[in-house]
Amino acid sequence: MAETLMFNALREAIDEEMAKDPTVLVMGEDVGHYGGSYKVTKDLYQKYGDLRLLDTPIAENSFTGMAVGAAMTGLRPIIEGMNMGFLLLAFNQIANNAGMLRYTSGGNFKIPIVIRGPGGVGRQLGAEHSQRLEAYFHAVPGLKIVACSTAYNAKGLLKSAIRDENPVLFFEHVLLYNLKDNLPDEEYYLPLDKAEVVRKGKDVTILTYSRMRYHVLRAVEALEKEGYDPEVIDLISLKPFDFETIEASIRKTHKVLIVEECMRTGGIAAELIASINDRYFDELDAPMIRLSSQDIPTPYNGTLESLTIVQPPQIIEAVKKLVDNKF
């Protein structure tokens, strides 16, 4: 076991898959000589050359379209968004082409693309650099959506995403790159469609993902001292949801709290609530609660920024409300 930072875990995943498969390549702005905006591809161009670590112009729509074409011809491109918010400029290519071509071609083409990069609310990065694109793309058919949260799952999930025959949106939170974790010396892969039960409990099911995993765990630490026993599930797979894991937890706790950094309107929690109501309504002993970011562009001001996203005291209050039946 070796202690590794998350950005290095992601780099290891790319390096290992590029070494195994000559069809794997990386393209994006400054991914080659500069090594990526958060150094996930640092020095890989020296090992694999400029054509497999392809520095592109600042033209997201164009190089995403080029990656779709490359995938159709048998390559396995990894697109790095310098910031995931910039990939809104490639929405057409991701939705109308990457997501749909395997279907609209009658299965004649596979689109094995990974679209990855930093996103989420950072520290005073401003509105355009604080996007949470999981909600934007959640309704697009044909896409898989994954949000890593630890160095361990980041590496295993990215390796699986690179090998997948479908387009995978791979979300990395900008504030988690320096997290440390012990990684196995041997090679490993993790399933793209499975949630992780982070903490077992019996009082309430807390569904969360990405950076909010750590806000939830901070809240749970305080709640444990007061005798509360929450179950914490890191969704990891945002599309499709792992309903097997979610169902098992709901049948045990009968209460659900969803904590997300996504916006409240049309967010991941909104879809989860609708799906849980459809599937497990009779298992619920209380209305579900969702804690989401406010529906406003993220302020640059640090104090205002922190007020727009969920904080541990709000999670503590919501758990007590659910468990103590104080509605």
Active site residues: 60, 129
Burial class of residue 314, CB neighbours in 10 A (0-12, 13-18, 19+) = middle
195 three-class SS: coil
Task: Concatenate the DSSP letters of all residues of 10-50 into one string.
Answer: HHHHHHHHHHH-TTEEEEETT-SSS--TTSTTTTHHHHH-T
* 98, amino acid identity: A
Which of 257, 62, 76, 256 lies closest to 158 in space, CA to CA? Answer: 76
Whether the Cβ atoms of residue 251 and residue 281 lie closer than 8 Å to each other: no
Look up residue 64 and give its two tokens.
């995403």
Helices (H), the chain: 6-20, 44-48, 60-72, 91-92, 101-104, 134-137, 151-163, 212-225, 243-253, 268-280, 302-308, 312-323
Rounded CA-CA distance 108/261 in Å is 38
Q: Which of 152, 109, 141, 144 is nearest to 9 (CA)?
A: 152
Q: Which residue type is seen at 198?
A: V
**Residue 323 Cα distances to 12, 32, 235, 265, 269, angstroms:** 42, 51, 22, 25, 20
In sequence order, which residues have a C-beta less than 8 Å from that of residue 240 and are 6 or more positions away? 144, 193
